[in-house]
Amino acid sequence: MAGIEKYLRQSALPHIWCPGCGNGILLAAILRAIDKLGLDQKKTVVVSGIGCSSRASGYMNFNTVHTAHGRALTFATGIKLAKPELNVIVLTGDGDSTAIGGNHFIHAARRNVDLTTVIFNNNIYGMTGGQYSPLTPMDAKATTAPFGHIERSFDIAALAIAAGATYVARGTAFHAQLLTDLVVKGIENKGFSVIDAITQCPISYGRKNKMGSAADMLAWQRDKAVMVQAVSKMKPEDLEGKFVIGELYRSVAPEYTAEYDKLIARVSKKGGK
């Protein structure tokens, strides 16, 4: 915890997350990234949506906004555009960002707004008690999929890349140090960065799907994750049932708020208002 206490609102703790929940690990990884970069606390804003993940903003000692369900990126876009000097970090969940907030997600990516979005991906709606989300795998069980889920799930990284994000990575709660590094790179990227952060929900997802304890679920993350650097050396059949972690995509594209500032410089009258 050394170094990151100053970023926590001690008075807001303890947090509301269940024992074994991975969200605390993710929060610490993000705070370490902020610390590592030495971001100016005053100039850093954290925006979240609704859900278990989105409670994280309340524990963080910055200007923080806990918005409405799915809307974090809309607020964040307004904040960043109105005051581009701010570092804006968005914390959201898989349902928050890709179901109710799916439209905002693809458009924030398309605009390449300089926001770093960490998606706490636990494959389920945890706060409401375990309903299926767009990240619930096929055949998995949820309270609203008692007979097994029959929908396909999103690949958040592929979605973000297709929509125009310029930095896309995947990490897990188990690989917490890697996650910090991925968030650091995401914040450093001048554009829309997405970090798909896989986390465990032992209560609402694990139990239903017989995944064991929180420790078992962390072990599952360890066993199923393949570092991106290793993929090229692997046969396709070895990747079956696994997921790739690390930096998955990076590109350079015009960043929205910088483009807007250029537009202002081009059209503004001398002396302004």
At residue 174, what are phi and psi to the nearest 5 degrees? Answer: -65, -45
Q: Around 237, how many Cα atoms within 13 Å sit in the side-chain half-sphere?
A: 0
From 31-39, 59-67, 91-99, 122-130, span contacting other proteins (CB under 8 A) = 59-67
Q: Smallest gap, in angstroms, from Cβ of residue 74 to other proteins? A: 3
Stretch that binds other proteins, among 79-87, 123-131, 141-149, 212-220 (CB under 8 A): 79-87
User: Angle at Cα 34 formed by Cα 33 and Cα 36, nearest 5°?
Assistant: 60
Cα angle 120-126-131, degrees, rounded to a multiple of 5? 115
Cα separations in angstroms, 165 against 77, 78, 129, 160:
14, 18, 31, 5
Which tokens go with 106? 């693809």
Per the document, the length of the chain is 273
Q: Does position 66 bind other proteins by CB under 8 A?
A: yes
- If one asks whether residue 71 binds other proteins (CB under 8 A), the answer comes out as yes
Does residue 42 bind other proteins (CB under 8 A)? yes
Q: Which stretch binds other proteins (CB under 8 A): 4-12, 26-34, 209-217, 224-232?
A: 4-12
Told to check if 53 binds other proteins by CB under 8 A, we report no
Q: Residues in the site for other proteins, rule: CB under 8 A?
A: 9, 11-12, 41-43, 45, 47, 57-58, 61-68, 71, 73-83, 85-86, 103-104, 106-107, 260, 263-264, 267-269, 272-273
